[in-house]
Amino acid sequence: MLTLFKQIFVWWNQTTIGTRIKTIFFGKFVGEDSFGNKYYQNKSGKRWVIYKDEIDASKIPNEWYSWIHYTKNKIENIHDLNKYEWQKPHLPNQTGTENSYHPNKNNEQNNKKYKSWKS
């Protein structure tokens, strides 16, 4: 019961019932990325994404970013791109998580390259 209530009223949790109905009746499935996000488009050209887990716009990988933002480029129709071995896999924004970057994350002491004049 709580899940149904969340789907009706809580848009930031997952897909709402209105979005599901719109996707079922008007959405044409275009593709799916490596994270499991599904991309849809209607007849008039409006595009949207159904996120697999938590809704976060930084979870859209490079292959689909240009498509969702209507950017024309040479890789418009090729979503399974061959990546080079030096390319890292796409990561969503890590701010606020344990994986976020801190300069002295593993080293607890502050190694300053200067000495303050007040002690």
Q: Total domain count for the chain?
A: 1
Query: Is 84 within a domain?
Result: no
57-88 pLDDT, tens digit each: 888 888 788 888 888 765 555 555 677 888 88
pTM: 0.61
- Of the pLDDT bands very low, low, confident and very high (cuts 50, 70, 90), residue 46 is very high
Residue 59: domain span:
2-68
Range 6-23 burial, b when 16+ CB lie within 10 A, else e: ebeeeeeebbbeebeebb
26-45 pLDDT, tens digit each: 999 999 988 889 999 999 99
Query: Is 113 within a domain?
Result: no
Query: Is 109 within a domain?
Result: no
Query: Is 14 within a domain?
Result: yes
Compute the average pLDDT of residues 89-101. Answer: 82
Collect all residues with Cβ–Cβ distance below 8 Å to 89 and sequence separation of at least 6: 34
